[in-house]
Amino acid sequence: MKVVLALGSNLGPRFQTLQGAVDTLFDAPGLEFVQASPVYETDPVGGPAGQKPYLNAIVIAETTLQPRTLLERAQSVENAFGRVRAERWGPRTLDIDLIVVGDTVCEEPELTLPHPLAHERAFVLVPWSKADPDAVVPGRGRVAELLAGIDQQGVRLRDDLKLQRPD
Query: Which positions are catalytic?
Result: 83, 92, 95, 97
C-beta of residue 147 within 8 angstroms of C-beta of residue 122: yes
Q: Show Cβ contacts of residue 103 under 8 Å, excluding neighbours closer than 6 positions.
A: 1, 138
| Residue 146 is a binding residue for ligand ATP (CB under 6 A) | no
| Residue 119 is a binding residue for ligand ATP (CB under 6 A) | no
Q: Residue from 23, 41, 43, 97 that binds ligand ATP (CB under 6 A)?
A: 97
Q: Residue from 69, 85, 89, 103 that binds ligand PH2 (CB under 6 A)?
A: 89
Q: Residue from 34, 45, 111, 161 that binds ligand ATP (CB under 6 A)?
A: 111
Q: Residue from 49, 88, 148, 160 that binds ligand ATP (CB under 6 A)?
A: 88
54-73 footprint of ligand ATP as x/- string (CB under 6 A): -----------------x--
Q: Residue from 18, 21, 36, 98 that binds ligand ATP (CB under 6 A)?
A: 98
Of residues 26 and 54, the one with the C-beta less far from ligand PH2: 54
33-72 footprint of ligand PH2 as x/- string (CB under 6 A): ---------xxxxxx------x-x----------------
Residue type, 106: C
**Can you give the chain as a three-state secondary structure string?**
CEEEEEEEECCCCHHHHHHHHHHHHCCCCCEEEEEECCCEEECCCCCCCCCCCEEEEEEEEEECCCHHHHHHHHHHHHHHCCCCCCCCCCCCCCEEEEEEECCCCEEECCEEECCCCHHHCHHHHHHHHHHCCCCEECCCEEHHHHHHCCCCCCCEECCCCCCCCCC
Binding site for ligand ATP (CB under 6 A): 71, 85, 88-89, 95, 97-98, 110-113, 115, 117
